Structure 1
Amino acid sequence: MMKSMMAGFGIVMATSFAAQAADLGRPAPAAVDYVKVCDAYGEGFFYIPGSQTCLKIGGYVRAEYRAWKTDDLFGSVYGLSNGVKGPANNTFTTRVRAQLTLDSRTNTEFGLLRSFTEAWYTVDSGSSSPSVDLWKAYIQLGGLTAGRAQSFFDFYTGDHYASVFETAHSDSQVNLLAYTFSFGNGVTASVSLEDSTTGNAARRMNGFGIYGGNKYPDLVGNVNITQAWGSAQLMGALHHDQPSYNNKSEWGYAVGGGVTVKLPMLGAGDSATLQAAYSKGAVSYATPDPLFGYDFLPKSISLVSPSMNQTVAWSVAAGMTHNWTSKWSSSATVSYLDHDGASSNFLGLGKFQLDYTQIDAGANLVYTPVEGLTIGAEVEYKTAKFSNGNIFLIPNKETDAVVGLLRVQRNF
């Protein structure tokens, strides 16, 4: 019996040693490279495995349902011929949009290296396939910004959704090359070269197809202060107006300033903003959404005329956000635009000059039942009163439109 047990034990040990000897000839299994949280830049970042780069993936899914009321003049002037912006023929439209953002950051010997990408995938009423917009895509290293980003002229872009009608302020994504100087205590100054042909807010207001080639980028600058009380900014831009009918060009310009004040005495996250802008030959810096806009027109019917008249526009905008409770909030924005159109007789129909004032307003009530989900109802209104025009184009009258919408959005 004892001999049998000893023999069995010997067999087991021999088999074990043989297995271990065989394993010595095999490579060790690779260590599992787990994803690690990166807390250096806030919540949501993680280390890309095998690197010192932190990445954050975000975005949203949004559904909107819109009900319209417009008059005939508004539809004809604003180009409302489809369901995207609400035509005279459609009183109900929809929009579904998915946003995806990628934010990567790495500390280097030259400062923070960052790349940011934001893409939109949208399906509107009247379309069976999505449109794709590269909304932002830029690289930052220290104070340098290169790529497609928010114009450095922009400061206040409204408090409410502004899903259909934007209030009068500058709000444009453009291809740019910029540098920001930091002076400490929240004070910065930026200078930017911006491609006016790439702005989503139509940086080149092209009245009647008379805009010529793009010879120079817009030169934009700002001085900004951001502190615990809020923020403020002064900004300016030079914009080149090049006509297609001759080589005589002129420079347009825009200046503006705004201030945002936090209101913790009313509620956490509450704020109020006031902003004003003035432009000549650069309408989109005063408003991204004019009812009728152009930067300039030739002075007379002769297209060989060496001169032009530039449009003057100025705007004032104000807004506020208030959190009623942790789940309920409201935002409202209102603006006034004065558009003094350039006078011209180039159509051969007598003197043409389109002057008007425009009022935009929007307000909403937003419910957040759980973190990341918002359900909001909003009303947006636009009206314009024309004081000068041409009977063949815009008669002297008023026009307006109102849109009510319901938005359901899931952020991640």
Structure 2
Amino acid sequence: MNSIKRLALGSAAALFAIGSAQAADLPLKAKAVEYVKICSIYGAGFYYIPGTDTCIKLGGYVRADVTFNGSNAYDAPAWNGASGAKNRNANSYIFRSRQDINVDTRTATEYGVVRTYFDAVFSWTTGGANSGIAGGELGVYYAFVQFAGFTFGKAVSQFDTPWTGYPGNNTSYLIGGYDNVTGINQVAYTSEFGNGVSASVSLEDQSAYLQSNLYNTNVGGTVLGYGANSYAGTSVPDIVGKIRVDQAWGLFQVSAAAHQVRASYYTPALETSGHPGDTWGYAVQGALSLKNLPTGPGDSINITATYSNGATRYVIGGVTTPASFLIYDNGSIPGTYQSVAFAHAADGVFAGANNVFGTGIEKTNAWGVRGAFNHNWSPYWSSSLFGSYTSIDYNGNASALICAGLGAPVAGFNCNPDFRIAQVGTVTRWTPVKNLTFSGEVLYTYLDQSHTGVVNVSAIPALGKPTANYELKDQGVWTGSLRVQRTF
């Protein structure tokens, strides 16, 4: 009995002690829980960062692509490298898998909204620089701050249109106009005048995307190459201006850019050889977008027309497009191994070994048109028909310098570095559920060169091509792609 009593008293004491300890551990007042609140000021998808007055939105997409008969992912035409050689060294297909992540923050202040934006991509591409096991590539598209009308950092160029290089296409290689979809470093100011009218001015870094070739034909000129690319270091950023009108019917925009063309030395490794004087090029663009078309709800037409003098990248390129093209095919002239079409875009040309015999910079001219018609068949199906035409003119003096550097390798060879590229394509998209799209695209690219006759080309081991005579002939190539994209 005494044993049972002692056990009961001990158990009670133990329970009391445990209860006292738990009571002592309880806070006097529970901390307030901070819930994530919706921020409706800036549109759907924004939330307040807990404990702050800053709103944040997270977004992005996952994309899987395969390109057929191309030179790179995203339906790149087979217009150079192994794909342009059209032999067993080329990949018949190219895969790319990509994850995009973007972060948008906004804070209201007495000076207006302070905005930051960051967009990065993680990619894995067939044959890419880091395509080993578990490898991949990282890209920074945008990273900028906007405040009181100013933009600082990597953002879409003020020269560009809202659709950049994509008036209706999937391919990243529709030329004939500017393409700055991944942003460019800049300092810009935009003024809003009301009723959809705005104007922008900016200073934009030319070193990454805005320098085409600047050929010194006295150094390394060959039949398929025009000389050494002899751009000097950058001195002045490109100066860009834009006026834009956004209305319910669509958009109208005029852009202009001034581009410094600055060469290195006549003899590249010798600064005492001197250099040509600096010169300025320019580019102008007109853009038009039409909405609310009678062909159906959501249909649109987007078109641009661009002209440049000494600033070729505003017409051919920007982010992705190469400045040199080389396409082979079968030949028809007896005694030739194959046919070939080659072309090189350039901002300018000069020649000479020193100040005494050197020339000034002869600038090139370029122009292009690019556009698309976008049609919705139903809420789930849509198609786009798109195309472009691009022309490069070396003018008389620039052409003479190029042809003097090439010489006449075979009797009957006629040298003329001018060229044109025409493109036409179509894409059809199926969106079975919101933000999930399957699409298929085909693209035809035609390189119309002005060289004629026959040339003798030295062996190109990287392409598997032997030393032989080649017929100079215009070339066309087909490419295609399939894409799956989930946007969130």
Shorter-chain TM range is 0.7 to 0.9
Structure 2: unaligned runs, 5 residues or longer: 1-15, 216-227, 266-274, 326-343, 409-414, 458-469
Match of 2:168 in 1: 160
How far is the alpha carbon of 1:27 from its aligned partner?
A: 4.2
Match of 1:273 in 2: 302
Match of 1:254 in 2: 283
- Output aligned runs, 1:111-150, within 5 Å: 111-126=112-127, 127-128=131-132, 129-150=135-156
Match of 1:364 in 2: 427
How far is the alpha carbon of 1:178 from its aligned partner?
A: 0.3
Distance 1:77 1:409 in 2: 24
Distance 1:77 1:312 in 2: 25
Instruction: Identify which of 185, 210, 234 aligns with 1:214.
Output: 234
1:293 paired to 2:345: yes
1:382 paired to 2:445: yes
- Describe the shift of the 1:76–1:381 C-alpha distance in structure 2 as closer, same or farther (beyond 3 A): closer
Alignment size in residue pairs: 389
Instruction: Identify which of 475, 482, 486 aligns with 1:399.
Output: 475
Which shifted more, 160-169 or 182-191?
Answer: 160-169
Superposition TM-score, scaled by structure 1 size: 0.86
Distance 1:234 1:183 in 2: 16
Quick one: which amino acid aligns to residue 160 of structure 1?
G
- Describe the shift of the 1:214–1:391 C-alpha distance in structure 2 as closer, same or farther (beyond 3 A): farther
Are 1:252 and 1:280, in contact at CA under 8 Å, matched by a contact in 2?
Answer: yes
Are 2:78 and 2:477, in contact at CA under 8 Å, matched by a contact in 1?
Answer: no
Question: How far does the alpha carbon of each residue in 1:208-240 deviate from its partner, in whole angstroms, 9 at most, with x for none?
Answer: 321111111000001000011110100100000
Are 2:174 and 2:387, in contact at CA under 8 Å, matched by a contact in 1?
Answer: no
Superposition TM-score, scaled by structure 2 size: 0.73
Distance 1:184 1:385 in 2: 45
- Describe the shift of the 1:306–1:229 C-alpha distance in structure 2 as closer, same or farther (beyond 3 A): same
Instruction: Identify which of 349, 366, 375 aligns with 2:406.
Output: 349
Percent sequence identity over aligned pairs:
35
- Describe the shift of the 1:284–1:88 C-alpha distance in structure 2 as closer, same or farther (beyond 3 A): farther
Instruction: Identify which of 369, 380, 388 aligns with 1:327.
Output: 380
Q: Secondary structure at the match of 2:102?
A: strand
Are 2:77 and 2:445, in contact at CA under 8 Å, matched by a contact in 1?
Answer: no
- Describe the shift of the 1:198–1:28 C-alpha distance in structure 2 as closer, same or farther (beyond 3 A): farther
1:312 paired to 2:365: yes
Match of 1:193 in 2: 203
Distance 2:110 2:140 in 1: 30
Question: How far does the alpha carbon of each residue in 1:351-395 deviate from its partner, in whole angstroms, 9 at most, with x for none?
Answer: 965110111222110000111100000012211110137946797
How far is the alpha carbon of 1:324 from its aligned partner?
A: 0.8
Q: Secondary structure at the match of 1:358?
A: strand
Q: Which has the higher contact order (CA 8 A, sep 6+)?
A: 2
Are 2:348 and 2:364, in contact at CA under 8 Å, matched by a contact in 1?
Answer: yes
